[in-house]
Amino acid sequence: MEMYSEFFNGDRKSTMTRKEHGLMTSWIVEMYINGRIVQKITLSDELKAKSLAENFISIDGQAVQTLLSEFV
C-alpha cells in the first residue's frame, strides 16, 4: 500500500491510499475529524475515491479550492 493523496480543511482530513491486488487496484479512503478516524471506505474507481475524499473535507457541501501558490 502507498499513500496517494491527502486532503485537509480545518479539523477534517481525508487520505487516499492505493493498494495493488495482482491485476486489480483498490483505493482506500480514510476520513478523520480532529485526528480521529470516523470512516474508512474501499473503492475500485480512482475518480470516485478522489471525489469522496474531497467531498468529505468540504464545508456545507461546497468544496474549498485553493491554488498551490495561494496562502489560506
pLDDT tens-place values along the chain, 72 residues long: 778 889 999 899 999 999 998 999 999 999 999 999 999 999 999 999 999 999 999 865 454 444 444 444
Predicted TM-score of the model (pTM): 0.77
List, as own/partner pairs, every contact residues 14-21 make where C-beta atoms lie below 8 angstroms and the sequence separation is at least 24, other chains included.
14/52, 14/53, 14/54, 14/56, 14/57, 15/53, 16/49, 16/50, 16/53
Number of domains the chain is built from: 1
Q: Is residue 31 part of a domain?
A: yes
Inter-CA distances, 46 with 11, 51, 56, 59, Å = 24, 9, 16, 22
Domain that holds residue 29: 2-56
Residue 8 covered by a domain: yes
Identify whether 48 is part of a domain.
yes
Structural domain includes residue 51: yes
